[in-house]
């Protein structure tokens, strides 16, 4: 008896997931492997990938374009939440996992599979995200992770594939592990494993080196509707095109690089390079618009929510009652977050230089230092007396 009869495998077309197909059948007694490749805007040609799965032994090879869903249902809520892990990583890889998990579960239910599978190893966060998301969506489906158990080196994996008729990769294999989608690019491993090693320019693909960026600043105006970016320079963009357009334009100025040591959920510190030009710029612009449109106490309270939100996405708890509850809070706050943010792109910086909104809470007659000041200066004195009273009493009592 095998571990499962019919399996839906998350498929990328790479060596590991290709080898998973014969491995599941030969080593684990799976009778039928259906592959599923998700198009998240990684720019791969999908027809060769679809065919490669069949050539590697899949009975059915599914390819699903979920780019719009990815941006609308995963990226936009994260932007509304200003979600960053450890204050820096905008979760470009992490946000894709719950969507892929959902596709796997849906396909398993449709084709009557008793298990789903992925090619993650046992050291990363992605295995946790897949396994937990799948369990949340359908606790009766088994999850198989061959690469977590097979203990083959890269060379052995390629050799195993060759014995099963899978051609070895044509390109000279890069020392880096790369994950790419519409939200950005993550790069780790190889020489980057030394945290003191400076990444060479070949590590980057979506952002220009500062040496090569334009010597003139460029301005871009982002229009938000209830916390969702909908226009660029006054022109409406659909969710996918917005990211395609902004990644190019913002990346051209060398904006969106992050080089960080992060704390993985499995307890390991790891070094990762991120390129997320559009996403990081949109989060900064969005947060700025919130500073104009949200009440002070809402902003302060929301900051705590944002921290938790980022951790939940990173830690694989997208499909969870807490994340849903946080989303309800965030959605309520976003009712006011409409307006325009003007951003200056120049030499690696996206600087917010202006913001406006019909919901602005900024009252110029209160803020001004010029004529037309309506703030009651005399009222400040009584306020300060009451505000400072506990401090005054504390001082008197403790200093004698
Ligand atoms: N560290 C990131 C995360 O956990 C990215 C993981 C994938 N990175 C990669 N280079 N394959 O979300």
Instruction: Tell me if 94 CB under 6 Å of ligand 1.
Output: yes
Is residue 375 a part of any domain in this protein? yes
Q: Verify that 182 and 169 share a domain, yes or no.
A: no
Instruction: Tell me if 187 CB under 6 Å of ligand 1.
Output: yes
CATH of the domain at 13: 3.40.50.620
Last residue of a domain, one of 139, 156, 174: 174
Q: What token pair was written down for 153?
A: 């080196």
- Measure 314 CA to ligand 1 centroid, in angstroms: 10
Span 336-380, pLDDT tens digits: 999 999 999 999 999 999 999 999 999 999 999 999 999 999 999
Ligand 1, atom nearest to 92 Cα: 12
- The predicted pLDDT at position 50 comes to 95
Q: Verify that 291 and 221 share a domain, yes or no.
A: yes
- Measure 189 CA to ligand 1 centroid, in angstroms: 10
Contact status, residue 81 vs residue 309, Cβ threshold 8 Å: yes
- Could you confirm whether 39 is annotated as catalytic? no
- The predicted pLDDT at position 297 comes to 98
- Could you confirm whether 126 is annotated as catalytic? yes
Instruction: Tell me if 16 CB under 6 Å of ligand 1.
Output: no
- Measure 319 CA to ligand 1 centroid, in angstroms: 19
Is residue 83 a part of any domain in this protein? no
- The predicted pLDDT at position 129 comes to 98
- The predicted pLDDT at position 154 comes to 85
- The predicted pLDDT at position 256 comes to 98
Q: Verify that 230 and 266 share a domain, yes or no.
A: yes
Is residue 99 a part of any domain in this protein? yes
- Measure 179 CA to ligand 1 centroid, in angstroms: 7
- The predicted pLDDT at position 343 comes to 98
CATH of the domain at 376: 1.20.5
| pLDDT of 44 above 90 | no
Is residue 72 a part of any domain in this protein? no
Looking at the structure of the chain, the number of domains it has is 3
Instruction: Tell me if 121 CB under 6 Å of ligand 1.
Output: no
Q: Verify that 104 and 119 share a domain, yes or no.
A: yes
Ligand 1, atom nearest to 126 Cα: 4
Active-site option among 18, 56, 92, 126: 126
Ligand 1, atom nearest to 94 Cα: 12
Q: Which residues fall within 8 angstroms of residue 395, CB to CB, at 6 or more apart?
A: none
Q: Verify that 189 and 302 share a domain, yes or no.
A: yes
Task: For residues 241-266, give the mean pLDDT.
Answer: 98
Between 172 and 323, residue with greater pLDDT: 323
Task: For residues 309-329, give the mean pLDDT.
Answer: 98
Q: Verify that 157 and 137 share a domain, yes or no.
A: yes
- Measure 112 CA to ligand 1 centroid, in angstroms: 31
Q: Which of 341, 368, 203 is nearest to 271 (CA)?
A: 203
- Measure 18 CA to ligand 1 centroid, in angstroms: 20
Is residue 219 a part of any domain in this protein? yes
- Give the domain range for residue 119: 6-66+91-174
Instruction: Tell me if 181 CB under 6 Å of ligand 1.
Output: no
Ligand 1, atom nearest to 91 Cα: 12
What percent of the chain has a predicted confidence (pLDDT) above 70?
99
Last residue of a domain, one of 174, 209, 237: 174
Task: For residues 260-272, give the mean pLDDT.
Answer: 97
Is residue 75 a part of any domain in this protein? no
- The predicted pLDDT at position 45 comes to 86
Q: Verify that 132 and 209 share a domain, yes or no.
A: no
Task: For residues 253-269, give the mean pLDDT.
Answer: 97
279 — pLDDT class (breaks 50, 70, 90): very high
| pLDDT of 193 above 90 | yes
- The predicted pLDDT at position 173 comes to 73
Is residue 12 a part of any domain in this protein? yes
What is the average pLDDT score of the chain?
96
| pLDDT of 298 above 80 | yes
CATH of the domain at 218: 3.90.1260.10
Q: Verify that 161 and 35 share a domain, yes or no.
A: yes
Q: Verify that 201 and 170 share a domain, yes or no.
A: no
Q: Verify that 211 and 132 share a domain, yes or no.
A: no
Q: Verify that 251 and 343 share a domain, yes or no.
A: yes
Task: For residues 73-79, give the mean pLDDT.
Answer: 98
Q: Verify that 164 and 306 share a domain, yes or no.
A: no
- Atom 1 (ligand 1) nearest CA: 272
Q: What token pair was written down for 106?
A: 């849906």
| pLDDT of 16 above 70 | yes
Instruction: Tell me if 177 CB under 6 Å of ligand 1.
Output: yes
172 — pLDDT class (breaks 50, 70, 90): low
Instruction: Tell me if 290 CB under 6 Å of ligand 1.
Output: no
Task: For residues 156-162, give the mean pLDDT.
Answer: 93
Contact status, residue 23 vs residue 36, Cβ threshold 8 Å: no
- The predicted pLDDT at position 148 comes to 94
Active-site option among 18, 56, 92, 97: 97
Rounded distance between C-alpha atoms, residue 184 and residue 280, angstroms: 10
Last residue of a domain, one of 145, 174, 203: 174
Contact status, residue 183 vs residue 250, Cβ threshold 8 Å: no
Which of 40, 193, 205, 272 for a ligand 1 pocket mutation test, highest count of atoms within 8 Å of Cβ? Answer: 272
Task: For residues 83-94, give the mean pLDDT.
Answer: 98
Which of 124, 191, 263 for a ligand 1 pocket mutation test, highest count of atoms within 8 Å of Cβ? Answer: 124
- Could you confirm whether 56 is annotated as catalytic? no
Span 94-136, pLDDT tens digits: 999 999 999 999 999 999 999 999 999 999 999 999 999 999 9
Task: For residues 6-22, give the mean pLDDT.
Answer: 95
Q: Using H for helix, E for strand and C for coil, what is the string for the chain? A: CCCCCEEEEECCCCHHHHHHHHHHHHCCCCCEEEEEEEECCCCCCHHHHHHHHHHCCCCEEEEEECHHHHHHHHHHHHHHCCCCECCCECCCCCCHHHHHHHHHHHHHHHHCCCEEECCCCCCCCHHHHHHHHHHHHCCCCEEECHHHHCCCCHHHHHHHHHHCCCCCCCCCCCCCEEEEECCEEEEECHHHHCCCCCCCHHHCCCCCCHHHCCCCCEEEEEEEECCEEEEECCEECCHHHHHHHHHHHHHCCCCCEEEEEEECCCCCEEEEEEECHHHHHHHHHHHHHHHHHCCHHHHHHHHHHHHHHHHHHHCCCCCCHHHHHHHHHHHHHHCCCCEEEEEEEECCEEEEEEEECCCCCCCHHHHCCCCCCCCCHHHHHHHHHHHHHHHHHHHHHHHC
- The predicted pLDDT at position 1 comes to 65
Is residue 86 a part of any domain in this protein? no
């Amino acid at each position: 008896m095998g571990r499962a009869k019919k399996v839906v495998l998350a498929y990328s077309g790479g060596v590991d997931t290709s080898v998973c197909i014969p491995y599941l059948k030969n080593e684990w007694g799976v009778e039928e492997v259906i592959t599923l490749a998700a198009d998240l805007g990684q720019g791969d040609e999908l027809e060769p990938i679809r065919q490669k799965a069949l050539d590697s032994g899949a009975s059915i090879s599914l390819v699903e374009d979920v780019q719009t869903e990815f941006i609308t249902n995963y990226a936009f809520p994260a932007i509304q939440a200003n979600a960053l892990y450890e204050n820096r990583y905008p979760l470009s890889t992490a946000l894709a996992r719950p969507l892929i998990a959902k596709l796997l579960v849906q396909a398993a239910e449709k084709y009557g599979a008793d298990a789903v599978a992925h090619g993650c190893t046992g050291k990363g966060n992605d295995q946790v995200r897949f396994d937990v998301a799948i369990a949340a969506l359908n606790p009766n489906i088994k999850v198989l992770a061959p690469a977590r158990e097979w203990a083959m080196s890269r060379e052995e994996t390629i050799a195993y594939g060759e014995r099963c008729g899978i051609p070895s990769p044509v390109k000279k294999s890069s020392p880096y592990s790369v994950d790419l989608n519409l939200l950005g690019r993550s790069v780790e491993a190889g020489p980057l494993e030394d945290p003191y090693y400076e990444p060479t320019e070949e590590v980057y693909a979506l952002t220009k080196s500062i040496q090569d960026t334009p010597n003139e600043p460029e301005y871009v105006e982002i229009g938000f509707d209830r916390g969702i970016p909908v226009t660029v320079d006054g022109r409406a963009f659909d969710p996918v095109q917005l990211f395609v357009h902004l990644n190019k334009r913002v990346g051209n100025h060398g904006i969106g690089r992050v080089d960080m040591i992060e704390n993985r959920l499995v307890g390991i510190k790891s070094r990762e390079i991120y390129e997320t030009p559009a996403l990081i710029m949109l989060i900064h612009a969005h947060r700025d618009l919130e500073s104009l449109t949200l009440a002070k106490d809402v902003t302060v309270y929301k900051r705590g929510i944002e921290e938790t939100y980022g951790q939940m996405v990173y830690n694989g708890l997208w499909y969870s009652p807490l994340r849903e509850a946080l989303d309800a809070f965030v959605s309520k706050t976003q009712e006011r977050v409409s307006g325009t943010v003007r951003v200056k792109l120049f030499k690696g910086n996206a600087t917010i230089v202006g913001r406006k909104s019909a919901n602005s809470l900024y009252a110029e007659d209160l803020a001004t230092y010029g004529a037309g000041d309506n703030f009651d200066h005399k009222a400040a004195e009584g306020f300060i007396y009451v505000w400072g009273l506990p401090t005054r009493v504390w001082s008197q009592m403790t200093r004698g």
